[in-house]
């Protein structure tokens, strides 16, 4: 039985989700503020978290940020009344796996949960089909970069980079497709595991953040190049980017 944590400060929503999730054979727990939610996530295993953004004591954004900084990859679906493009991109950029705006139907939420869980199970290390191909061994080196696939670390010239989980996944995917021009849609599919049509700005934001950490001059990138009109290319061949 899959275990779900519902985090929302509106009792009616919590009751609605608890009832319908239990009817769908989920094991359900709940929290009504961000601080309690973070503590529960840190001390328990959940298969997925439904997380409202507008929470007392600690916002949903901060909860999501904290668990991703701890490299906790529990799938998170954001539930919020916010529905602008900025809010959606921000939530996904912070590490959410999906986004359901309020008002919603319980059937829609359950369908999203099942879809995220299917993607998550396919992307686990024992059965990775969409992730970047890992070469022999857990350690891979290309140019000045060393990628430790087991410890989720990247170093450049023997100095560890402080990457977020999503930045690591992006780096891993780029290294696995070195010297290939990748469109934004390919990166969305490969890194996020599914197609967020129209969310190309999210890719651009993550690319910019990754460049800040791997390039000595992010404005004139040497390794992570923009191929105008096509997308991006990662290469350690040493040529200067456009």
pLDDT digits (tens, 9 = 90+) for 114-173: 988 887 765 554 444 444 444 445 888 999 999 988 777 899 988 888 887 778 889 999
At 83, the pLDDT band (50, 70, 90 cuts) reads: low
Domains of the chain, with CATH numbers? 3-127 (3.40.50.2300), 139-234 (1.10.10.10)
Q: What is the pLDDT of residue 199?
A: 64
pTM: 0.60
Q: How sure is the predictor about 103, in pLDDT bands with cuts at 50, 70 and 90?
A: confident
Q: Where are the beta strands (DSSP E) in the chain?
A: 3-7, 27-31, 48-52, 76-80, 98-101, 139-142, 145-148, 153-156, 159-160, 181-182, 224-227, 231-234
Return the minimum-mean-pLDDT range out of 10-24, 110-124, 163-177: 110-124
Residues 6 or more apart from 126 whose CB is under 8 A from it?
Answer: none
Between 16 and 81, name the one with better pLDDT: 16
pLDDT tens-place string over residues 197-219: 556 777 888 899 899 999 999 99
Is pLDDT at 82 greater than 50 in this prediction? yes
Alpha-carbon distance 55 to 35, whole Å?
9
């Amino acid at each position: 039985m899959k275990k779900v944590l519902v985090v929302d400060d509106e009792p009616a929503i919590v009751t609605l989700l608890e009832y319908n999730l239990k009817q769908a054979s989920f094991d359900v727990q709940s929290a009504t503020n961000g601080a309690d939610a973070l503590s529960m996530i840190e001390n328990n295993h959940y298969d997925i978290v439904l997380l409202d953004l507008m929470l007392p004591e600690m916002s949903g954004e901060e909860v999501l940020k904290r668990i991703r900084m701890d490299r906790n990859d529990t799938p998170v679906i954001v539930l919020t009344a916010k529905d602008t493009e900025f809010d959606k991109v921000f939530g996904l950029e912070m590490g959410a796996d999906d986004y359901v705006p309020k008002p919603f139907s319980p059937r829609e939420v359950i369908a999203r949960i099942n879809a995220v869980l299917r993607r998550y199970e396919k992307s686990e290390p024992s059965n990775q089909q969409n992730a970047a191909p890992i070469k022999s061994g857990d350690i891979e080196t290309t140019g000045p970069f060393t990628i430790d696939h087991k410890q989720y670390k990247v170093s450049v010239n023997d100095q560890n980079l402080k990457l977020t989980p999503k930045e690591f996944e992006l780096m891993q995917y780029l290294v696995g497709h070195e010297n290939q021009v990748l469109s934004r849609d390919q990166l969305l599919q490969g890194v996020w595991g599914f197609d967020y049509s129209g969310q190309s700005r999210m890719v651009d934001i993550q690319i910019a953040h990754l460049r800040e950490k791997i390039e000595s001059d992010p404005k004139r990138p040497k390794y992570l190049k923009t191929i105008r009109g096509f997308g991006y290319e990662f290469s350690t061949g040493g040529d200067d980017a456009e």
